[in-house]
Structure 1
Amino acid sequence: MPEFDWTWLLLGLPLTFALGWLASRIDLRQWQRTDRQAPRAYFKGLNLLLAEQPDKAIDAFIEAVQADPDTSELHFTLGNLFRRRGEFERAVRVHEHLLQRADLAEADRQRAQHALAQDYMKAGLFDRAEEAFRALEGSPFETESRLALLGLHERSRDWRAAADIAQLLEKSGTGSFAQRISHYQCELALQADERGEHDGAAAALERALETAPQSARPWVLQAQRQLRLGQAAAALDAWTELRQRNPEAFARLAADYVACAQAAGQTEAARQTLAALYERHPSLDLLRALAPLEGQLPGLSPRLLTLLRQEPSLGAVMTLLDLPFDDARAAWNEPLREAVRNALVDTARPLQRYRCAACGFESQRHFWQCPGCLSWDSFPNRRLDES
């Protein structure tokens, strides 16, 4: 057996050490060079963003991306900046480039998909946006995507799809969407009636009532629809349900209720109903609906003076001014004059202000220098109610 020559070992050790040291120096220099280039451009972009110079910030981030094309965070920052500036095509290209990378982590891939969907949404490419948002089902962005889809369906008036998405959101615990689903069903009922599909309209209204029985709109549509079909008694039942469930909405639509009661031959019952409701919840709409049933003009109703004192409004004053001249002169007296004056003062007070043209600061006093933004001569010479 030949003896091992220790001379080679003594020669090899220094050589191996020298080669390792040389390799480490080369890697270190390369890392230092990359580290100097990318962070410098990155921090330069951040500083420019803080200085509210987005154009220069974008140039800096582009430089950083070119120095380190594998950094996904820089791509996200750049894409978001493009979108904020309205350069949607460039934002789309950035996010599509991210999605094409095979080495992208799944979390970043989903994030890029969500950003791409937002790009399409902002650009008005709603078909592509819908497709991109649907691709995020089952991802951490699922809820945000469904909310965006809900807005898209409302915009395109696709009420059936909107109702489906709203139900998914409610089942996932995002919140209550009963009111919105009820409105979607009402819209579907109106569309069905326009097409002459009366059974479909009735079914949609039933679903709306089941979904949100306290909502006013389904009962109003039900009453109006029944009256059009010549079923005045059924329409009155719907109005009664609305009055019990939502008195404020009923008061606003009291004139429609009166027309329905007159068609059903229930004028006196309607007068008693409105009079009782007015005692509990006085309002101008109720007064205007009730006065003709009592054989008088709204402006001559003895309730008007009390209403002006309790709830002063320009609408109540206009009811008085709508009277024929002779009737108005006969009704005019000192208590009514005082009530009208107080109503005008209360309603005009918020408009008797000066508003800064630079920042919108409002004040009852005129300032040469705005206390809000310190602009000089930014207060006009006229108050809001004079301009």
Structure 2
Amino acid sequence: MVEFELWWLLIIPFFFGLGWIAARIDIKHIISETTDLPASYFKGLNFILFQDYEKASESFSDALRIKPDSLELHFIQGNIFRKLGKIDQAINLHNKLLDQKELTPQQIESVKAELMQDYFTAGFYDRCESLSEELSSEQYQKFKLKILLDISIKQRHWDSAIKYCKEVEQNFGVSYRLQISHFLCELALEKIIQEKKDQAIKHLEHALDIYKNSTRANIILGELEFEKQNYKSAIEIWKRIELQKPTDFILIATKFLECYEKLNKQNECLSFLSHLRESYGINQIDSVIFNFILQKEGSKNAEEFAKNNLIKKPSIEVLDQLFSAKSLNNNSDSDIKMMQQVIKNSIGTKLFHLCNHCGFKAKQHHWQCPACNSWETVSNELKDIGK
């Protein structure tokens, strides 16, 4: 029994290592070679398991010296080079493989796919697109289309991005409706800058046809009405957000309240905002209401509002609002000002918009995460990373 357990302890790192490379390399080829793989191969897998990629690279270099004909070992080493940011070494590695005359057509395509990944990572998009034309087998069509899509996004070629999304949807049954809606919104923003607002509206309406929960499209449509001082129309458009994704309402709550103020119906708006806060837990709406009361009704009413909120749901953000109002009511109280500054400093280092996909922290909201490029994964509300 003891021997059995020790055996499994030895083999577990091996299978973890295989999992790391399985997405890029045919596992059958790896298993077929395990009978004569050098010990440095298994050392490399162990280093990958513990994310020590420098030592993993050294181990696979040793393995390649022993088995220079192993295509799989070259691919693993290339992946590690990319992981380490040594793109030039990955490109050289794969170009040398292409110079080998004994490669089969299928192997040549596999190397070109790796090289395409190298060029994309390095930002050599022209070379990447040129190489994609040489990948003709069915095996690499989805891979090729996704890289071409990513290139289009990087270069902000939104029409091309939409085209590649539709090809992936048509050929592989993967939905890209959310992404296409954002590409249409990006096109709309370009048209707004060009003063072609009628075309912008068409793109936004198309975005809503493609993806009915596109709050971004409704936010921009409402802003266009707001700029034209069509406040009732802006309100009607923005109210749709509650039926789409209520938490996105915080992105336009201040302008929404301004629309009602222009119509002398601010009390109606405050009631609606309170409904959103209570029904959907959008706590940051309290900040919008507090700032409005502070500006329009004075610091005493704002202090009372903050004090009531602090009783209902104590938080450092509400405490900051309370001391902000108090400092205005007691202009000469240095203790209050000092406490307020301490609270602001504490909040300033802890509150971020967080990407729920990769954990990226940002001081402002992004529709696309700058780190992992995922759409609609960055939180709308500021979150306390200390919690």
TM-score, normalization: structure 1?
0.63
Q: State the alpha-carbon separation in 2 of the partners of residues 250 and 239 from structure 1.
A: 8
Could you say if the C-alpha distance between residues 133 and 316 of structure 1 is closer, same or farther in structure 2, counting changes exceeding 3 Å?
Answer: farther
Separation (CA, whole Å) in 2 of partners of 1:239 and 1:123: 41
Q: Which runs of 5+ in 2 are unaligned?
A: 1-33, 48-54, 332-338, 351-384
Q: What is the letter of the counterpart of residue 319 of structure 2? A: V
User: What is the match of residue 150 of structure 1?
Assistant: 149
Report if the CA contact (8 A) 1:41-1:63 is conserved.
no
How well do the aligned residues superpose, as a CA RMSD in angstroms? Answer: 4.0
Bigger relative contact order (CA 8 A; separation at least 6): 2
State the AA in 2 paired with 1:314.
I
What corresponds to 1:300 in structure 2? 302
Q: Single out whichever of 126-135 and 199-208 deviates more from structure 2.
A: 126-135
- How far 1:223 moved relative to its partner? 0.7
- What is the DSSP-based 3-state SS (H/G/I as helix, E as strand, rest coil) of the residue aligned with 1:176? coil
SS in 1 for 2:217: helix
What displacement does 1:137 show? 5.7
- How far apart are the structure 1 equivalents of 2:106 and 2:300? 66
| Residue 229 (structure 2) pairs with residue 226 (structure 1) | no
Counterpart of 2:112 in structure 1 is 113
Q: Relative to structure 1, is the Cα distance of residues 78 and 138 closer, same or farther in structure 2, using a 3 angstrom cutoff?
A: same
Q: Which residue of 2 aligns with 1:378?
A: none
Give me the whole-angstrom Cα distance separating, in 2, the residues matched to 1:246 and 1:225.
Answer: 20
Correspondence for 1:321 among 307, 320, 323? 323
Structural mapping, 1:246-285, within 5 Å: 246-264=245-263, 266-278=265-277, 280-281=279-280, 283=283, 284-285=286-287
| Alignment match, 1:54 | 57
Cα distance in 2 for partners of 1:84, 1:242 equals 40
Q: Distance in 2 between matches of 1:62 and 1:311?
A: 65
Structure 1 residue 54 displacement after superposition: 2.9
CA contact (8 A) 1:192 1:198 kept: yes
CA distance in 2 between partners of 1:319 and 1:75 (Å): 59
Alpha-carbon spacing, 1:225–1:139, altered in 2? closer, same or farther (3 Å) = same
SS in 2 for 1:143: helix
Output the amino acid matched with 1:307: N
**In the TM superposition, what is the alpha-carbon distance from 1:208 to its structure 2 partner?**
1.7
Change (3 A) 1:45 1:83: farther
- Give yes or no for contact 1:186–1:218 (8 Å, CA) kept in 2: yes
Instruction: Give the TM-score normalised by structure 2.
Output: 0.63
Listed one character per residue, the Cα deviations across residues 44-83 of structure 1 (whole Å, up to 9, x for unaligned) are 5425635736336425524643xxx6x5445445544554
* In 1, Cα distance between equivalents of 2:222 and 2:208: 12
User: What are the within-5 Å matches in structure 2 for residues 1-387 of structure 1?
Assistant: 43=38, 45-46=40-41, 49=44, 50=46, 52=55, 54-55=57-58, 57-58=60-61, 61-62=64-65, 64-65=67-68, 72-73=71-72, 75-77=74-76, 79-80=78-79, 82-84=81-83, 86-101=85-100, 103-133=102-132, 135-136=134-135, 139-173=138-172, 175-264=174-263, 266-278=265-277, 280-281=279-280, 283=283, 284-288=286-290, 291=293, 295-297=297-299, 300=302, 302-325=304-327, 327=329
Deviation at 1:261, TM superposition (A): 2.5
Residues 255-276 of structure 1: CA deviation (Å, up to 9, x unaligned): 1101122334544543443344
1:355 matched to which residue of 2? none
Tell me if the contact between 2:184 and 2:204 (Cα under 8 Å) persists in the aligned partners.
Answer: yes
Letter in structure 1 aligned against 2:57: P
Closer/same/farther in 2, CA of residues 41 and 81 from structure 1, 3 Å limit: farther
Q: Which whole-Å CA distance do the structure 2 matches of 1:150 and 1:164 have between them?
A: 9
8 Å Cα contact 1:251/1:285 also seen in 2? no
What amino acid sits opposite 2:224 in the alignment?
R
2: CA distance, partners of 1:233 / 1:300: 27
C-alpha distance in 2 between matches for 1:133 and 1:313:
54
Q: Could you tell me how far apart the structure 2 residues matched to 1:251 and 1:81 are?
A: 42
> Secondary structure in 2 aligned to 1:141?
helix
Q: Would you say the 8 A contact 1:182–1:208 is kept in 2?
A: yes
What is the percentage of aligned positions where both structures have the same residue? Answer: 21
Deviation at 1:221, TM superposition (A): 0.8
Change beyond 3 A, Cα 1:236–1:47: closer
Contact 1:153–1:162, Cα closer than 8 Å, also in 2: yes
- Answer yes or no: is the 8 Å Cα contact 1:45–1:61 preserved in 2: no
Q: Residues of 2 paired with 1:319 and 1:204: CA distance?
A: 40
Deviations 1:220-255 (A, max 9, x none): 111111121333332122122223433322245321
Q: How far, CA to CA, are the matches of 1:137 and 1:307 in structure 2?
A: 63
Kindly indicate whether the alpha-carbon contact (under 8 Å) linking 1:167 and 1:177 is maintained by their aligned counterparts in 2. yes
Contact 1:192-1:200 within 8 A present in 2 as well: yes
